Amino acid sequence: MSYTFMGPHNYNLTIDKSDIYGEAAEVGVGGRVVDVPAADLPEIVAALYRAAGQEPPIILPRPDTHELRTEGWVDGRNVNASAGLRVVGSVPTMQARDYAAHLAAAADLADAEPDPEQLKQLVELIDPWSTAEANARAILAAGYGRTEEQA
């Protein structure tokens, strides 16, 4: 996946996956490129915001999706905010950031959950006696679904 920003003065900023390094982005402008390791991206993004006179966004590492599901962070189309709450009261700053990252990632997963009624109908349509739920989830995640007019 590549991105191109069309800038003034006939220069384009391009961003691509690095061909040289595994977890890095290749950033280019004016025919010159630099490979930026993924670990350095938050610092670079923050510098871009500051250079534009803005406060940078809070960038948190994304927790493992499987961990979020197995630890109960996602409850259908909702986030179980108490799943990771192991302490009541004040917590160390790194623990607070880790908790915030889990909440944000769980919210993304919950947003991506299909409508339970559509999922049930599609599973029954495919094959109610098999393991059709995974296929039905994939179909709905791809954007296919019954609209109100089709119901």
What is the band of 140 on the pLDDT scale with cuts at 50, 70, 90?
confident
In the numeric block, the tokens 């009624």 are attached to 117
Instruction: Give the pTM.
Output: 0.59
**For residue 57, what are the CA distances in angstroms to 54, 63, 85, 105, 142?**
9, 18, 24, 16, 29
Kindly give the residue spans of alpha helices, DSSP state H, lying in the chain. 41-51, 65-70, 93-112, 116-126, 133-141
Task: Identify which of 9-13, 21-25, 58-62 has the greatest average pLDDT.
Answer: 21-25
Predicted confidence at residue 128, as pLDDT, reads 66
Q: What are the two backbone dihedrals, phi and then psi, of residue 6, each rounded to the nearest 5 degrees?
A: -85, 105
